[in-house]
């Protein structure tokens, strides 16, 4: 992996798709102006509204949103994780929750469909059944780029270390995890789990998050993070505002960590 600058964008997306895309584009340009070669947007960045409207708002991937975001990536000459989009499906009324990796030429390099769906009941704090609304994906995704091998995950996937180990087995050096992590679970586990996934898989982890009250009635945590393979927090967001966080991802550090503590090579229990 080469060294490069990366940014994560923290947003509070609403049900106005045009406004969300305009805000995302502005923040992407801000990141690129700071030197970012890879920029990542949070989960459901393009549209976030009442659950009953999700199916009507879903689009194809590739489709209008990836085309618009691809044009931004091409104009700025950057890699962009448009993460995530409600993707219309042919065989299920529920859309996929899909993160798209776009290249500096604007092309769609890969699309990851969220595998683990957030079905929880925490009375008085948050109750969600994502599986009622969205279809699950089934395949990890890791893409070779000029910057390095980039893997994708989404939000609740964070609690499933086997996915991140699968990405490590596919050579992931950077994992990008768009999120809309709720405040109760975020306060308890967000940073701990992100740092653990980065440490145990010896990869950089970029986690752009939503913040503030969501249409569904719960609140998102913010606190977007960029973490290095040693578990060091390189950048941290606030919990109450949209912002761009930028950090230098040191390829030499990644190589040194993997060389000096080659735990991925020392595994004895393998699938």
Mean pLDDT of 79-94: 92
User: What's the confidence (pLDDT) of residue 65?
Assistant: 97
For 235, phi then psi, to 5°, come to -155, 140
Identify the residue whose tokens are 């683990």. 116
Reported as a single tens digit per residue, the pLDDT across 206-261 is 999 999 988 767 899 999 999 999 999 999 999 999 999 999 999 999 999 999 99
Q: Decide if pLDDT at 101 tops 90.
A: yes
User: What is the signed CA dihedral for 205, 211, 216, 217, rounded to 10 degrees?
Assistant: 130
Domain ranges across the chain:
4-260
Mean pLDDT of 32-46: 98
- Using alpha carbons, select from 84, 123, 101, 94 the residue that is nearest to residue 39: 101
User: What's the confidence (pLDDT) of residue 132?
Assistant: 87
Q: Decide if pLDDT at 112 tops 90.
A: yes
High-pLDDT (> 90) share of the chain, %: 86
Catalytic residues: 43, 114, 155
Q: Decide if pLDDT at 197 tops 90.
A: yes
For residues 120 and 76, is the Cβ–Cβ distance under 8 A?
Answer: no
The highest-level CATH class for domain 4-260 is alpha beta
User: What's the confidence (pLDDT) of residue 201?
Assistant: 98
């Amino acid at each position: 992996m080469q060294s490069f600058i990366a940014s994560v964008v923290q947003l509070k997306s609403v049900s106005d798709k045009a406004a969300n895309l305009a805000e995302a584009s502005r923040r992407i340009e801000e990141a690129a102006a700071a030197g970012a070669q890879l920029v990542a947007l949070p989960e459901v960045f393009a549209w976030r509204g009442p659950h009953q409207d999700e199916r009507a708002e879903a689009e194809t991937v590739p489709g209008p949103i990836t085309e618009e975001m691809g044009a931004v990536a091409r104009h700025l000459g950057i890699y962009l994780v448009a993460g995530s989009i409600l993707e219309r499906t042919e065989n299920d009324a529920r859309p996929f929750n899909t993160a798209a990796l776009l290249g500096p030429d604007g092309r769609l390099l890969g699309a990851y469909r969220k595998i683990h769906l957030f079905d929880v009941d925490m009375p008085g704090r948050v109750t969600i059944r994502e599986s009622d609304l969205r279809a699950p994906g089934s395949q990890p995704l890791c893409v070779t780029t000029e910057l390095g091998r980039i893997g994708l995950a989404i939000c609740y996937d964070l609690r499933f270390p086997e996915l991140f180990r699968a990405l490590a087995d596919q050579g992931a050096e950077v994992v990008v995890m768009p999120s809309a992590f709720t405040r109760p679970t975020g306060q308890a586990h967000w940073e701990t789990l992100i740092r653990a996934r980065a440490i145990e898989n010896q990869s950089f982890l970029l986690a752009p998050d939503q913040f503030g009250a969501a249409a569904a009635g719960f609140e998102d945590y913010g606190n977007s993070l960029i973490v290095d393979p040693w578990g060091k927090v390189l950048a941290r967001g606030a919990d109450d505002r949209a912002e761009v966080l930028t950090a230098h991802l040191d390829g030499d550090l990644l190589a040194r960590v993997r060389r000096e503590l080659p735990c991925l090579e020392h595994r004895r229990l393998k699938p």
